[in-house]
């Protein structure tokens, strides 16, 4: 869980960074170019296989763990300590994970499926034809229910990360007098900031917001 | 603190034996002193039950000083009751108010089957210790302990881990019925000392293996165990166990 979790945390960073192009002026071209790079570069495509494997492993491990752990106490308590001794989200990782999985399926159908299997318009930049994923985002995020689903997805992700980030380090045995408080704080910042940036994307698209900056591009 | 007497309603789990269907029975106790321990309160109830010709409530207890790890019980959803760092025998009735209803259950986990009422079978812990929670010592004269230099921090951490009394509250508190806090304390207190170092690789592998065989759940780091532990064993030990286990699995000679 911990290894795949850390791997997926790294993926979130990359995903967040590339997509952050849409916040700025010239977002359309910058984002489409970045998406084109991510969709065509051979190394990124190989990494994509690893990403799918990481997701699938994390999901299967998670459900196996939850089922096996639930089976360890057949006779339930009449009264439980609830939130007095542990946080609700640390006890609800399977539930939060399931919500994220549902979101992920919707998200793949919205963007990954059409970008791989067709159905997207193309745009031309300097004679190079690239898929108009920005246009797709505009379309998808013009519907209110989609915005709500995405906001809920980000919300579930935030709670999932709030436990998962620090828990991954503990499982790997990285509990240190000096560094663990730092890891915990980093975990809280990551769990709030990254899902917040993701949550802002549909809102920017829906309301047509844009941060005016001259030449900034988040390409690499 | 002001002394007071209280009347209480107790909902106690009664179960005839390992295979019987258990259920809650309700009892009234009167004039319980706030200076009694929780177990003394149950003694009072049991005397009353015996006088009335009933079956007294079976519960585990031994030293009643908070050091042996025999007493158990989940009181209002909390193993060893509401006080932090306290065993049931050291929990005093001043933790409760007059007229309160208290729900008393056994530690619940498939690896801790109920023997009768509030008594559970915790031999699974003994078998984990037998699997590796010891050091091998040559016979002959005992070596002078002070002759072996030990870092002060290591000695302190080892001692803190060794204060685990093996009561099983960690398992009872964990939503997964995981025994990781117990096993990690037992692994840590030996792994941190030079006397435990020669066998540390085999020890951690054998103890974790036995823990899994006993049917305890996996740790998902909710840290409810640390919050409920009467000896306040730190989850730092669980990370140490994970490190030791990882190192042991890379040990090509084992």
State the CATH number of the domain containing residue B84. 3.10.20.30
* Residue B224 included in any domain: yes
pLDDT, position A127: 87
Domain shared by B50 and B141, yes or no: no
pLDDT, position B254: 65
User: What CATH code is carried by the domain that includes residue B165?
Assistant: 1.10.1060.10
Pairing relationship of beta strands B5-14 and B101-105 according to DSSP bridges: parallel
Residues A83-116: pLDDT tens digits? Answer: 999 999 999 999 999 999 999 999 999 999 999 9
Distance from CA of B139 to the nearest CA of A (A): 36
* Residue B97 included in any domain: yes
Domain shared by B96 and B189, yes or no: no
Contacts of B244 in chain A (CB under 8 A): 173
Q: Domain total for chain B? A: 2
Mutation choice for B interface testing from A61, A73, A97, A163 by most B CBs within 10 A: A73
Instruction: Calculate mean pLDDT across residues B39-65.
Output: 97
Contacts of B110 in chain A (CB under 8 A): 71-74
Mutation choice for A interface testing from B83, B214, B239, B245 by most A CBs within 10 A: B239
pLDDT, position B103: 98
* Residue B254 included in any domain: no
Domain shared by B146 and B228, yes or no: yes
Residue A220 has pLDDT above 70, yes or no: no
Residue A217 has pLDDT above 70, yes or no: no
Per-chain mean pLDDT for chain A: 94
3 state DSSP class of B7: strand
Contact A86 B222 (CB under 8 A): yes
Domain shared by B178 and B222, yes or no: yes
Domain shared by B187 and B152, yes or no: yes
Domain shared by B184 and B77, yes or no: no
Domain shared by B78 and B151, yes or no: no
Instruction: Give the residue from B116, B141, B160 where a domain finishes.
Output: B116
B214 touches chain A (CB under 8 A): no
Per-chain mean pLDDT for chain B: 96
Instruction: Give the residue from B75, B100, B116 where a domain finishes.
Output: B116
Q: Which of A69, A75, A85 comes nearest B176 by C-beta?
A: A69
Contacts of A73 in chain B (CB under 8 A): 108-110, 177, 217
In order of A37, A44, A194, the CA distances from A220 in angstroms are 9, 13, 20
Contacts of B114 in chain A (CB under 8 A): 75
pLDDT, position A219: 62
Instruction: Calculate mean pLDDT across residues B122-146.
Output: 92
Domain shared by B101 and B127, yes or no: no
Residues A37-88: pLDDT tens digits? Answer: 999 999 999 999 999 999 999 999 999 999 999 999 999 999 999 999 999 9
Domain shared by B148 and B53, yes or no: no
Domain shared by B132 and B100, yes or no: no
ipTM of predicted assembly, 2 dp: 0.91
Q: In 3D, which of A93, A110, A208 has the Cα closest to residue A161?
A: A93
Instruction: Give the residue from B96, B116, B136 where a domain finishes.
Output: B116
Contacts of B239 in chain A (CB under 8 A): 170, 173-175
Q: Provide the residue range defining the domain that includes B212.
A: 123-249
Contact A69 B77 (CB under 8 A): no
Domain shared by B132 and B236, yes or no: yes
Residue pair B57/B42 in contact (Cβ under 8 Å)? The answer is yes
Instruction: Calculate mean pLDDT across residues B174-195.
Output: 97
Residue pair B245/B205 in contact (Cβ under 8 Å)? The answer is yes
Contact A85 B24 (CB under 8 A): no
- A84/A106 Cα distance (integer angstroms): 36
Domain shared by B20 and B54, yes or no: yes
């Amino acid at each position: 869980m911990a290894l795949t979790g850390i791997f997926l945390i790294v993926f979130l960073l990359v995903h967040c960074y590339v997509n952050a192009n849409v916040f700025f002026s010239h977002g359309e071209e910058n984002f489409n170019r970045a998406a084109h790079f991510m969709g065509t570069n051979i190394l990124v495509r190989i990494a994509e296989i690893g990403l799918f494997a990481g997701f699938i492993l994390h999901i299967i491990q998670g459900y196996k763990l939850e089922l096996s752990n639930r089976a360890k106490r057949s006779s339930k308590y009449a009264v439980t300590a609830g939130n007095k001794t542990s946080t609700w989200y640390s006890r609800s990782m399977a539930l939060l994970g399931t919500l994220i999985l549902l979101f992920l399926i919707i998200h793949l159908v919205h963007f990954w499926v059409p970008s791989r299997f067709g159905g997207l318009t193309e745009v031309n930049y300097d004679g190079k034809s690239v898929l108009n994923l920005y246009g797709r985002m505009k379309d998808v995020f013009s519907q209110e229910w989609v915005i709500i689903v995405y906001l809920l997805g980000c919300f579930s992700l935030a709670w999932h990360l709030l436990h998962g980030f620090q828990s991954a380090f503990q499982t790997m045995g990285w509990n240190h007098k000096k560094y663990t408080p730092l890891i915990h704080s980093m975990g809280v910042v990551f769990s709030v900031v990254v899902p917040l940036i993701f949550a802002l994307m549909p809102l920017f698209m829906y309301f047509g917001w844009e941060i005016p900056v001259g030449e900034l591009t988040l390409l690499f | 603190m002001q002394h007071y007497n209280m009347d209480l309603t107790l909902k106690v789990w009664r179960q005839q034996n390992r295979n019987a269907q258990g259920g809650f029975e309700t009892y009234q106790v009167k004039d319980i002193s706030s200076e009694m321990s929780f177990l003394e309160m149950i003694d009072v109830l049991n005397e009353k039950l015996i006088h009335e010709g009933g079956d007294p409530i079976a519960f585990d207890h031994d030293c009643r000083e908070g050091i042996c790890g025999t007493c158990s019980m989940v009181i209002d959803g909390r193993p060893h009751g509401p006080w932090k760092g306290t065993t049931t025998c050291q929990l005093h009735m001043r933790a409760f108010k007059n007229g309160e209803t208290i729900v008393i259950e056994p530690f619940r986990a498939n690896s801790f089957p109920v023997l009768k009422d509030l008594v559970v079978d915790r031999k699974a812990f003994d078998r984990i210790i037998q699997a590796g929670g010891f050091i091998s010592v040559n016979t002959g004269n005992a070596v002078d302990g002070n002759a072996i230099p030990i870092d002060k921090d290591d000695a302190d951490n080892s001692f803190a881990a060794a204060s685990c009394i093996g009561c099983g509250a960690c398992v009872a508190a964990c939503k997964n019925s995981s025994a990781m806090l117990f096993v990690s304390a037992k692994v840590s207190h030996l792994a941190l000392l030079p006397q435990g170092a020669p066998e540390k690789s085999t020890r951690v592998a054998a103890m974790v293996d036995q823990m899994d065989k006993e049917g305890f759940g996996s740790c998902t780091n909710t840290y409810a165990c640390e919050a409920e532990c009467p000896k306040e064993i730190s989850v730092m030990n669980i990370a140490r166990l994970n490190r030791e286990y990882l190192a042991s699995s890379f040990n090509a000679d084992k």
